[in-house]
Amino acid sequence: MGDEKERTETLDGTPAAAEAAHRPPTAFLEVRDLRIHFPTDDGLVKSVDGLSFQLERGRTLGIVGESGSGKSVTSLGILGLHNRRNANVSGEIWLDGQEIVGSTPDQVRRLRGRNMAMIFQDPLSSMHPFYTVGNQIIEAYRIHNDVSKQVARKHAIDMLGRVGIPQPDKRVDDYPHHFSGGMRQRAMIAMALSCDPELLIADEPTTALDVTVQAQILDLLRDLQEEFNSAIIMITHDLGVVAELADDILVMYGGRSVEYATVDDLFHRPLHPYTWGLLGSMPRLDRERSERLLPIKGTPPSLINLPSGCAFNPRCAYAELNDGRSETERPELKELEPGHSVACHLPLARRKEIWDNEIRPKL
Protein backbone atom coordinates (compact mmCIF):
# COMPACT_ATOMS: atom_id res chain seq x y z
CA MET A 1 0.00 0.00 0.00
CA GLY A 2 2.69 2.49 1.05
CA ASP A 3 4.52 1.35 -2.03
CA GLU A 4 1.68 2.47 -4.22
CA LYS A 5 1.59 5.94 -2.75
CA GLU A 6 5.28 6.43 -3.25
CA ARG A 7 4.99 5.45 -6.88
CA THR A 8 2.22 7.91 -7.56
CA GLU A 9 4.33 10.67 -6.08
CA THR A 10 7.25 9.92 -8.36
CA LEU A 11 4.90 10.02 -11.28
CA ASP A 12 3.67 13.45 -10.32
CA GLY A 13 7.33 14.38 -10.26
CA THR A 14 7.51 15.72 -6.73
CA PRO A 15 10.15 14.52 -4.27
CA ALA A 16 13.64 15.66 -5.10
CA ALA A 17 15.27 12.50 -3.78
CA ALA A 18 13.21 10.32 -6.06
CA GLU A 19 14.00 12.64 -8.94
CA ALA A 20 17.72 12.11 -8.43
CA ALA A 21 17.36 8.33 -8.21
CA HIS A 22 15.21 8.27 -11.30
CA ARG A 23 17.26 9.99 -13.94
CA PRO A 24 14.95 11.39 -16.57
CA PRO A 25 14.75 8.96 -19.43
CA THR A 26 16.66 9.73 -22.58
CA ALA A 27 15.21 7.01 -24.78
CA PHE A 28 11.66 6.79 -26.13
CA LEU A 29 11.04 3.60 -24.18
CA GLU A 30 13.18 2.88 -21.19
CA VAL A 31 12.70 -0.11 -18.90
CA ARG A 32 14.71 -0.06 -15.70
CA ASP A 33 15.12 -2.99 -13.36
CA LEU A 34 11.64 -4.32 -14.10
CA ARG A 35 10.46 -7.05 -11.75
CA ILE A 36 7.18 -8.90 -12.13
CA HIS A 37 6.48 -11.52 -9.47
CA PHE A 38 3.38 -13.61 -8.98
CA PRO A 39 2.65 -14.92 -5.50
CA THR A 40 1.14 -18.39 -5.95
CA ASP A 41 0.33 -21.33 -3.71
CA ASP A 42 3.57 -23.01 -4.78
CA GLY A 43 5.70 -19.97 -4.05
CA LEU A 44 6.72 -16.69 -5.59
CA VAL A 45 6.99 -16.98 -9.37
CA LYS A 46 9.66 -14.53 -10.47
CA SER A 47 8.66 -14.29 -14.13
CA VAL A 48 10.67 -11.11 -14.73
CA ASP A 49 13.48 -10.29 -12.37
CA GLY A 50 15.52 -7.18 -13.03
CA LEU A 51 15.13 -6.45 -16.70
CA SER A 52 16.44 -3.24 -18.30
CA PHE A 53 16.48 -2.09 -21.92
CA GLN A 54 15.85 0.89 -24.16
CA LEU A 55 14.24 1.49 -27.49
CA GLU A 56 14.08 4.49 -29.83
CA ARG A 57 11.34 5.42 -32.30
CA GLY A 58 11.65 3.75 -35.65
CA ARG A 59 13.80 0.99 -34.23
CA THR A 60 13.07 -2.63 -33.44
CA LEU A 61 14.10 -4.63 -30.41
CA GLY A 62 13.93 -8.39 -30.57
CA ILE A 63 13.32 -10.23 -27.30
CA VAL A 64 14.33 -13.86 -27.63
CA GLY A 65 14.12 -16.73 -25.20
CA GLU A 66 12.69 -20.15 -24.60
CA SER A 67 9.11 -20.75 -23.58
CA GLY A 68 8.54 -19.49 -20.07
CA SER A 69 11.47 -17.07 -20.01
CA GLY A 70 9.13 -14.16 -19.28
CA LYS A 71 8.70 -12.54 -22.68
CA SER A 72 4.94 -12.21 -22.63
CA VAL A 73 4.89 -11.22 -18.98
CA THR A 74 7.32 -8.41 -19.82
CA SER A 75 5.17 -7.11 -22.65
CA LEU A 76 2.00 -7.23 -20.58
CA GLY A 77 3.92 -5.32 -17.92
CA ILE A 78 4.77 -2.57 -20.37
CA LEU A 79 1.12 -2.24 -21.31
CA GLY A 80 0.20 -2.20 -17.64
CA LEU A 81 -2.08 -5.19 -18.13
CA HIS A 82 -1.12 -7.17 -15.05
CA ASN A 83 -3.79 -7.43 -12.43
CA ARG A 84 -2.50 -5.56 -9.42
CA ARG A 85 -4.15 -8.10 -7.19
CA ASN A 86 -2.08 -11.08 -8.31
CA ALA A 87 1.10 -9.54 -9.71
CA ASN A 88 3.79 -7.55 -7.93
CA VAL A 89 5.31 -5.16 -10.42
CA SER A 90 8.29 -2.98 -9.54
CA GLY A 91 10.95 -1.03 -11.36
CA GLU A 92 10.33 1.67 -13.92
CA ILE A 93 8.91 1.77 -17.41
CA TRP A 94 9.22 5.14 -19.12
CA LEU A 95 7.29 5.65 -22.31
CA ASP A 96 7.94 8.99 -23.93
CA GLY A 97 8.54 10.62 -20.57
CA GLN A 98 5.65 9.03 -18.73
CA GLU A 99 6.28 6.41 -16.09
CA ILE A 100 3.92 3.42 -16.30
CA VAL A 101 4.54 1.21 -13.27
CA GLY A 102 3.51 3.93 -10.82
CA SER A 103 0.65 5.40 -12.83
CA THR A 104 -2.98 4.91 -11.92
CA PRO A 105 -4.87 2.31 -13.95
CA ASP A 106 -6.75 5.04 -15.76
CA GLN A 107 -3.58 6.91 -16.72
CA VAL A 108 -2.13 3.74 -18.24
CA ARG A 109 -5.40 2.94 -19.95
CA ARG A 110 -5.26 6.23 -21.84
CA LEU A 111 -1.83 5.29 -23.19
CA ARG A 112 -2.99 1.92 -24.42
CA GLY A 113 -4.10 1.73 -28.03
CA ARG A 114 -2.74 5.09 -29.11
CA ASN A 115 0.72 5.28 -27.50
CA MET A 116 1.33 1.57 -27.22
CA ALA A 117 -0.41 -1.41 -28.71
CA MET A 118 0.14 -5.12 -28.79
CA ILE A 119 -0.26 -7.92 -31.27
CA PHE A 120 -1.11 -10.92 -29.13
CA GLN A 121 0.35 -14.37 -29.35
CA ASP A 122 -2.81 -16.28 -30.28
CA PRO A 123 -5.08 -14.22 -32.53
CA LEU A 124 -8.02 -16.62 -32.38
CA SER A 125 -8.42 -16.54 -28.63
CA SER A 126 -7.39 -12.88 -28.53
CA MET A 127 -10.31 -11.65 -30.59
CA HIS A 128 -13.83 -11.58 -29.24
CA PRO A 129 -15.76 -14.43 -30.89
CA PHE A 130 -19.07 -12.55 -30.81
CA TYR A 131 -18.05 -9.36 -32.62
CA THR A 132 -17.07 -8.91 -36.25
CA VAL A 133 -13.46 -8.15 -37.02
CA GLY A 134 -14.60 -4.78 -38.32
CA ASN A 135 -16.45 -3.94 -35.13
CA GLN A 136 -13.41 -4.78 -33.06
CA ILE A 137 -11.22 -2.48 -35.13
CA ILE A 138 -13.86 0.24 -35.15
CA GLU A 139 -14.07 0.01 -31.38
CA ALA A 140 -10.31 0.31 -31.00
CA TYR A 141 -10.24 3.35 -33.30
CA ARG A 142 -13.12 5.18 -31.68
CA ILE A 143 -11.68 4.98 -28.19
CA HIS A 144 -9.03 7.48 -29.17
CA ASN A 145 -10.65 9.21 -32.14
CA ASP A 146 -13.89 11.12 -31.82
CA VAL A 147 -15.40 10.10 -35.13
CA SER A 148 -18.70 8.67 -36.36
CA LYS A 149 -19.21 4.95 -36.88
CA GLN A 150 -19.16 5.43 -40.66
CA VAL A 151 -15.80 7.17 -40.60
CA ALA A 152 -14.39 4.54 -38.26
CA ARG A 153 -15.72 1.82 -40.51
CA LYS A 154 -14.00 3.35 -43.52
CA HIS A 155 -10.83 3.47 -41.47
CA ALA A 156 -11.24 -0.20 -40.50
CA ILE A 157 -11.64 -1.23 -44.14
CA ASP A 158 -8.59 0.87 -44.93
CA MET A 159 -6.53 -0.85 -42.25
CA LEU A 160 -7.64 -4.32 -43.37
CA GLY A 161 -6.61 -3.47 -46.92
CA ARG A 162 -3.31 -2.11 -45.71
CA VAL A 163 -2.39 -5.33 -43.92
CA GLY A 164 -3.08 -7.23 -47.11
CA ILE A 165 -6.51 -8.73 -46.54
CA PRO A 166 -8.23 -9.17 -49.90
CA GLN A 167 -11.69 -7.65 -50.34
CA PRO A 168 -11.50 -5.71 -47.08
CA ASP A 169 -14.91 -4.11 -47.64
CA LYS A 170 -16.46 -7.60 -47.44
CA ARG A 171 -14.22 -9.16 -44.81
CA VAL A 172 -14.84 -6.27 -42.45
CA ASP A 173 -18.19 -7.85 -41.57
CA ASP A 174 -16.78 -11.32 -40.99
CA TYR A 175 -16.22 -12.86 -37.60
CA PRO A 176 -12.77 -13.95 -36.42
CA HIS A 177 -13.62 -17.62 -36.89
CA HIS A 178 -14.24 -16.98 -40.58
CA PHE A 179 -10.60 -15.97 -41.06
CA SER A 180 -7.70 -18.29 -41.72
CA GLY A 181 -4.76 -18.25 -39.32
CA GLY A 182 -2.68 -15.89 -41.41
CA MET A 183 -5.61 -13.56 -42.14
CA ARG A 184 -6.53 -13.51 -38.47
CA GLN A 185 -2.99 -12.50 -37.61
CA ARG A 186 -3.26 -9.68 -40.14
CA ALA A 187 -6.58 -8.60 -38.69
CA MET A 188 -5.00 -8.56 -35.25
CA ILE A 189 -2.20 -6.40 -36.64
CA ALA A 190 -4.75 -4.09 -38.27
CA MET A 191 -6.48 -3.72 -34.92
CA ALA A 192 -3.25 -3.01 -33.07
CA LEU A 193 -2.21 -0.45 -35.69
CA SER A 194 -5.56 1.25 -35.99
CA CYS A 195 -4.52 4.19 -33.82
CA ASP A 196 -0.98 4.48 -35.22
CA PRO A 197 0.68 3.45 -31.95
CA GLU A 198 4.11 4.83 -31.22
CA LEU A 199 5.16 1.56 -29.61
CA LEU A 200 4.06 -1.75 -31.05
CA ILE A 201 4.70 -4.99 -29.22
CA ALA A 202 4.40 -8.06 -31.41
CA ASP A 203 4.26 -11.23 -29.32
CA GLU A 204 5.29 -14.12 -31.57
CA PRO A 205 3.32 -12.69 -34.48
CA THR A 206 4.33 -15.49 -36.81
CA THR A 207 4.30 -18.72 -34.82
CA ALA A 208 1.94 -21.32 -36.21
CA LEU A 209 2.06 -19.70 -39.63
CA ASP A 210 3.72 -21.28 -42.63
CA VAL A 211 6.94 -19.84 -43.91
CA THR A 212 5.48 -17.82 -46.78
CA VAL A 213 2.85 -16.17 -44.64
CA GLN A 214 5.47 -15.63 -41.96
CA ALA A 215 7.63 -13.70 -44.41
CA GLN A 216 4.65 -11.65 -45.56
CA ILE A 217 3.74 -10.68 -42.02
CA LEU A 218 7.30 -9.65 -41.25
CA ASP A 219 7.43 -7.57 -44.44
CA LEU A 220 4.19 -5.99 -43.43
CA LEU A 221 5.52 -5.00 -40.02
CA ARG A 222 8.62 -3.52 -41.64
CA ASP A 223 6.55 -1.46 -44.08
CA LEU A 224 4.25 -0.24 -41.38
CA GLN A 225 7.19 0.76 -39.24
CA GLU A 226 8.60 2.84 -42.07
CA GLU A 227 5.23 4.48 -42.54
CA PHE A 228 4.58 5.38 -38.92
CA ASN A 229 8.11 5.48 -37.54
CA SER A 230 6.94 3.39 -34.60
CA ALA A 231 9.14 1.55 -32.19
CA ILE A 232 8.62 -2.21 -32.33
CA ILE A 233 9.32 -4.90 -29.77
CA MET A 234 9.39 -8.22 -31.52
CA ILE A 235 9.02 -11.21 -29.25
CA THR A 236 9.99 -14.68 -30.39
CA HIS A 237 11.69 -17.86 -29.32
CA ASP A 238 13.26 -18.12 -32.74
CA LEU A 239 16.31 -16.01 -33.53
CA GLY A 240 15.67 -16.46 -37.25
CA VAL A 241 12.56 -14.30 -37.07
CA VAL A 242 14.35 -11.27 -35.65
CA ALA A 243 17.57 -11.65 -37.64
CA GLU A 244 16.40 -9.36 -40.42
CA LEU A 245 13.88 -7.24 -38.61
CA ALA A 246 15.53 -6.18 -35.36
CA ASP A 247 18.17 -3.57 -34.65
CA ASP A 248 18.92 -4.83 -31.15
CA ILE A 249 18.33 -8.15 -29.50
CA LEU A 250 17.75 -8.99 -25.88
CA VAL A 251 18.21 -12.62 -24.93
CA MET A 252 16.13 -13.63 -21.91
CA TYR A 253 16.72 -16.59 -19.65
CA GLY A 254 14.66 -17.32 -16.55
CA GLY A 255 13.22 -13.82 -16.34
CA ARG A 256 16.55 -12.02 -16.76
CA SER A 257 18.53 -10.77 -19.70
CA VAL A 258 21.72 -12.71 -20.33
CA GLU A 259 22.85 -10.90 -23.45
CA TYR A 260 21.84 -7.56 -24.93
CA ALA A 261 23.47 -6.48 -28.18
CA THR A 262 23.01 -5.19 -31.69
CA VAL A 263 21.89 -7.74 -34.25
CA ASP A 264 25.29 -7.68 -35.85
CA ASP A 265 27.12 -8.35 -32.59
CA LEU A 266 24.67 -10.99 -31.50
CA PHE A 267 24.87 -13.02 -34.67
CA HIS A 268 28.57 -12.55 -35.35
CA ARG A 269 30.16 -12.06 -31.95
CA PRO A 270 27.80 -13.62 -29.40
CA LEU A 271 29.31 -13.82 -25.94
CA HIS A 272 26.92 -15.93 -23.88
CA PRO A 273 26.78 -19.74 -23.90
CA TYR A 274 22.96 -19.65 -23.95
CA THR A 275 22.98 -17.46 -27.06
CA TRP A 276 25.35 -19.94 -28.66
CA GLY A 277 22.78 -22.62 -27.94
CA LEU A 278 19.98 -20.53 -29.46
CA LEU A 279 22.06 -19.92 -32.56
CA GLY A 280 22.82 -23.60 -32.77
CA SER A 281 19.18 -24.56 -32.57
CA MET A 282 17.96 -22.07 -35.16
CA PRO A 283 15.84 -23.93 -37.68
CA ARG A 284 17.40 -23.54 -41.08
CA LEU A 285 16.04 -24.39 -44.45
CA ASP A 286 19.14 -26.35 -45.42
CA ARG A 287 19.06 -28.45 -42.27
CA GLU A 288 16.59 -30.85 -40.70
CA ARG A 289 15.38 -30.07 -37.21
CA SER A 290 16.96 -33.24 -35.85
CA GLU A 291 20.34 -32.21 -37.20
CA ARG A 292 20.81 -29.21 -34.97
CA LEU A 293 24.43 -29.16 -34.08
CA LEU A 294 24.29 -27.48 -30.71
CA PRO A 295 21.06 -28.34 -28.98
CA ILE A 296 20.49 -26.77 -25.57
CA LYS A 297 20.36 -29.69 -23.20
CA GLY A 298 17.93 -29.89 -20.31
CA THR A 299 14.76 -27.95 -19.55
CA PRO A 300 14.02 -24.31 -18.75
CA PRO A 301 14.51 -23.47 -15.07
CA SER A 302 11.79 -23.23 -12.45
CA LEU A 303 10.95 -19.59 -11.86
CA ILE A 304 10.12 -20.28 -8.23
CA ASN A 305 13.50 -21.83 -7.41
CA LEU A 306 16.04 -20.55 -9.87
CA PRO A 307 19.34 -22.44 -9.76
CA SER A 308 21.75 -20.60 -7.51
CA GLY A 309 24.54 -18.65 -9.12
CA CYS A 310 24.01 -18.44 -12.85
CA ALA A 311 20.52 -19.70 -13.64
CA PHE A 312 21.88 -21.38 -16.77
CA ASN A 313 24.54 -23.40 -14.98
CA PRO A 314 22.78 -26.82 -14.94
CA ARG A 315 22.65 -26.68 -18.72
CA CYS A 316 25.90 -24.88 -19.47
CA ALA A 317 28.86 -26.77 -20.93
CA TYR A 318 31.30 -24.18 -19.55
CA ALA A 319 30.07 -23.89 -15.99
CA GLU A 320 33.11 -25.80 -14.69
CA LEU A 321 35.58 -23.31 -16.08
CA ASN A 322 34.92 -20.61 -13.48
CA ASP A 323 36.24 -21.97 -10.17
CA GLY A 324 32.71 -22.70 -8.96
CA ARG A 325 31.50 -19.13 -9.41
CA SER A 326 28.83 -20.26 -11.88
CA GLU A 327 27.15 -22.23 -9.07
CA THR A 328 27.46 -19.66 -6.32
CA GLU A 329 27.54 -16.15 -7.69
CA ARG A 330 24.94 -14.59 -9.92
CA PRO A 331 26.67 -12.97 -12.93
CA GLU A 332 25.61 -9.35 -13.42
CA LEU A 333 24.81 -7.98 -16.84
CA LYS A 334 27.97 -6.04 -17.77
CA GLU A 335 28.64 -3.89 -20.78
CA LEU A 336 31.77 -5.60 -22.09
CA GLU A 337 31.96 -3.66 -25.31
CA PRO A 338 30.04 -0.54 -26.32
CA GLY A 339 26.41 -1.56 -26.81
CA HIS A 340 27.06 -5.19 -25.93
CA SER A 341 26.15 -6.46 -22.46
CA VAL A 342 26.50 -10.02 -21.22
CA ALA A 343 25.92 -11.82 -17.92
CA CYS A 344 28.50 -14.58 -17.64
CA HIS A 345 31.52 -15.35 -15.44
CA LEU A 346 33.63 -16.81 -18.20
CA PRO A 347 36.70 -14.64 -18.89
CA LEU A 348 36.09 -12.57 -22.01
CA ALA A 349 39.19 -13.76 -23.86
CA ARG A 350 38.25 -17.37 -23.18
CA ARG A 351 34.74 -16.77 -24.41
CA LYS A 352 35.92 -15.26 -27.67
CA GLU A 353 38.22 -18.19 -28.11
CA ILE A 354 35.45 -20.73 -27.56
CA TRP A 355 33.17 -18.90 -29.98
CA ASP A 356 35.81 -18.64 -32.68
CA ASN A 357 37.23 -22.13 -32.35
CA GLU A 358 34.43 -24.36 -31.07
CA ILE A 359 31.07 -22.85 -31.85
CA ARG A 360 31.24 -20.85 -35.04
CA PRO A 361 32.71 -23.63 -37.18
CA LYS A 362 29.80 -25.88 -36.28
CA LEU A 363 27.02 -23.45 -37.18
Ligand X SMILES: Nc1ncnc2c1ncn2[C@@H]1O[C@H](COP(=O)(O)OP(=O)(O)OP(=O)(O)O)[C@@H](O)[C@H]1O
Residue 93 or 140: the one with the smaller Cβ distance to another protein is 140
Q: Is 113 in the site for another protein (CB under 8 A)?
A: yes
316: partner contacted, choices ligand SF4, ligand X, another protein, none (Cβ within 5-8 A by kind):
ligand SF4
**60, 103, 214, 313: which one contacts ligand SF4 (CB under 6 A)?**
313
Distance CA 111, CA 114 (A): 6
In whole angstroms, the minimum distance from the beta carbon of 341 to ligand SF4 comes to: 14
Q: Identify residues 24-83 at the interface with another protein (CB under 8 A).
A: 76, 79, 81
In whole angstroms, the minimum distance from the beta carbon of 13 to ligand X comes to: 31
In whole angstroms, the minimum distance from the beta carbon of 41 to another protein comes to: 15
Residue 108 or 201: the one with the smaller Cβ distance to Mg ion is 201
**Which of 60, 27, 176, 193 lies closest to 117 in space, CA to CA?**
193
Residue 160 or 258: the one with the smaller Cβ distance to ligand SF4 is 258
122: partner contacted, choices another protein, ligand X, ligand SF4, none (Cβ within 5-8 A by kind):
another protein
Q: Long-range contacts made by residues 186-189, C-beta under 8 angstroms, separation at least 24?
A: 186/160, 186/217, 186/220, 187/123, 187/127, 187/133, 187/137, 187/160, 187/163, 188/119, 188/120, 188/123, 188/126, 188/127, 189/119, 189/163, 189/217, 189/220, 189/221, 189/224
Q: Is 316 in the site for ligand SF4 (CB under 6 A)?
A: yes
Q: Is 344 in the site for ligand SF4 (CB under 6 A)?
A: yes
Tell me the site size for ligand SF4, rule CB under 6 A. 13
Q: Is 331 in the site for ligand SF4 (CB under 6 A)?
A: yes
**157, 231, 246, 346: which one contacts ligand SF4 (CB under 6 A)?**
346
130: partner contacted, choices Mg ion, another protein, ligand SF4, none (Cβ within 5-8 A by kind):
another protein
In whole angstroms, the minimum distance from the beta carbon of 181 to Mg ion comes to: 17
In whole angstroms, the minimum distance from the beta carbon of 83 to ligand X comes to: 8
Q: Is 256 in the site for ligand SF4 (CB under 6 A)?
A: no
In whole angstroms, the minimum distance from the beta carbon of 193 to another protein comes to: 12
Residue 138 or 266: the one with the smaller Cβ distance to another protein is 138
Residue 8 or 126: the one with the smaller Cβ distance to another protein is 126
Q: In the complex, which residues of this chain contact ligand X (CB under 6 A)?
A: 38, 40, 45, 47, 65, 67-73, 86, 121, 237, 303
Residue 78 or 258: the one with the smaller Cβ distance to another protein is 78
Q: Which residues pair with 49 in a beta bridge?
A: 35
Write a three-state SS string for the chain: CHHHHHHHHHHHCCCHHHHHHCCCCCCCEEEEEEEEEEEECCEEEEEEEEEEEEECCCCEEEEECCCCCCHHHHHHHHCCCCCCCCCEEEEEEEECCEECCCCCHHHHHHHECCCEEEECCCHHHHCCCCCCHHHHHHHHHHHHCCCCHHHHHHHHHHHHHHCCCCCHHHHCCCCHHHCCHHHHHHHHHHHHHCCCCCEEEEECCCCCCCHHHHHHHHHHHHHHHHHHCCEEEEEECCHHHHHHHCCEEEEEECCEEEEEEEHHHHHHCCCCHHHHHHHHCCCCCCCCHHHCCCCCCCCCCCCCCCCCCCCCHHHCCCHHHHCCHHHHCCCCCEEEECCEEECCCCCHHHHHHHHHHHHHHHC
**47, 54, 72, 115: which one contacts Mg ion (CB under 5 A)?**
72
72: partner contacted, choices ligand SF4, Mg ion, another protein, none (Cβ within 5-8 A by kind):
Mg ion
Binding residues (CB under 5 A) for Mg ion: these are: 72
Report the interface residues with another protein, using CB under 8 A: 76, 79, 81, 105, 109-114, 117-118, 120, 122, 125-130, 132, 139-140, 143-144, 175, 177, 191
Chain residues that interact with ligand SF4, rule: CB under 6 A: 273, 310, 312-313, 316, 318-319, 322, 326, 331, 344-346
